[in-house]
Amino acid sequence: MENLDKTVIIDQSPIGRTPRSNPATYTGVFTAIREIFAMTEEAQIRGYGPGRFSFNTKEGRCDACEGDGVKKIEMHFLPTVYVECEVCEGKRYNPETLKVKYKGKTISDVLEMTIEEALEFFKAHPKVIKILKVLDEVGLGYVKLGQSSTTLSGGESQRVKLATELSKKSTTKTFYILDEPTTGLHFQDVAKLLKILHSLVDKGNTVLVIEHNMDVILNADHIIDIGPDGGEKGGNLVYEGDINGIQKCKQSFTGQAVKKYLNKNKLGK
C-alpha cells in the first residue's frame, strides 16, 4: 500500500438524501454554470453574483419550497410523497432570478437539460465541458443535470461519483474500489465503463471491482473468487489468478460460468 496516494470507494449509496442534491451540484459543474449566468449583461445590471443562481440561497430561490422545486408530504404508514411546488411550478427559483437568461435559457431551463444537451449548449466553456464529458463517457448522457438524487438508481449514483473522481486531477497512484458498477447497465454502457477502467489502470492506478458480470471478469488482470456458495457456505478463497486458470478450477462456479460463456460466444461466431 506504500505505493498508493489514496483510496477511493465508489459504491451505490445515494449522492444525497434530499431532492436538493443532483448531478450538477455533486460534481461541482453547477458552480461553473452559475458563474456563466453571473457574467451575463442582465445579471451585471441587476448586480447578481453566482450565489444568486443557487437554489440554496434565500435571494434566488423560491420561498415557498425553499429551492427544492417540490414539497414533501409525510404519509402515515406510507412512504413520503413529493409533489411539485405550486408557486414556482418546480422551477426552484423566484421570478426575478428567472429573468436572467443565457443564450435564451434560464438557470432552471439548464437544470432540465440532459447531460448530452448541456454538452452542446456549453461547448464554448471548457471548465463545464470537462465535467460533462466525463459524465457522458460513463453512460449518463440521458440524465438531467438537475435530476433529484432521490430518483437516481444505485448504478446511476455510482457513476456520478465515478465521473466526479475522474474529473479531478489524478495522482496515478489511486486505489479505486467499485461495488457492482454494471448493475442495470446496457451492454454498450458496460463497454464504456470498461474503457474508462482500463484508462485508469493504464495511468498507473489500481482498480478493484466487485462484480459478477462476465465481460468485466474477462477484462480483469487478476481474479479473486470467493465462495463456493453464498451465505454460510461462502466466504472462502476458491481461486486467485488469471482468467485461464479459473477455467481449470473445478471448485469455482465462476470458472465454470466463464468457460460456458466463452464457449457460447465461440459458437455464436
Give DSSP secondary structure letters for 229-243: SSGGG--EEEEEE-H
Pick the CATH number of 6-221 from 1.20.1580.10, 3.40.50.720, 1.10.260.40, 1.25.40.10: 1.20.1580.10
pTM, 2 dp: 0.84
Residue 269: the pLDDT is: 52
Give the integer Cα–Cα distance in Å for 265 and 269.
6
Dihedral sign from CA coordinates of 135, 137, 143, 145: positive
With both helix axes pointing from N to C terminus, report the angle between 126-137 and 187-202 in degrees, rounded to the nearest 10.
120
Q: Tell me which of 174 and 78 has the higher pLDDT.
A: 174
- Give the tens place of pLDDT for each residue, 117-160: 999 999 999 999 999 999 999 989 999 999 999 889 998 999 99
Residue 1: the pLDDT is: 61
Residue 103: closest CA among 41, 169, 177: 41
Residue 248: the pLDDT is: 93
What's the average model confidence in pLDDT over 182-199? Answer: 89
Contact 251, 239 (CB under 8 A): yes
Residue 81: the pLDDT is: 85
Residue 267: the pLDDT is: 56
Q: Where are the domains of the chain?
A: 6-221
- Give the tens place of pLDDT for each residue, 221-269: 999 999 888 778 888 999 999 999 999 999 999 999 999 999 887 655 5
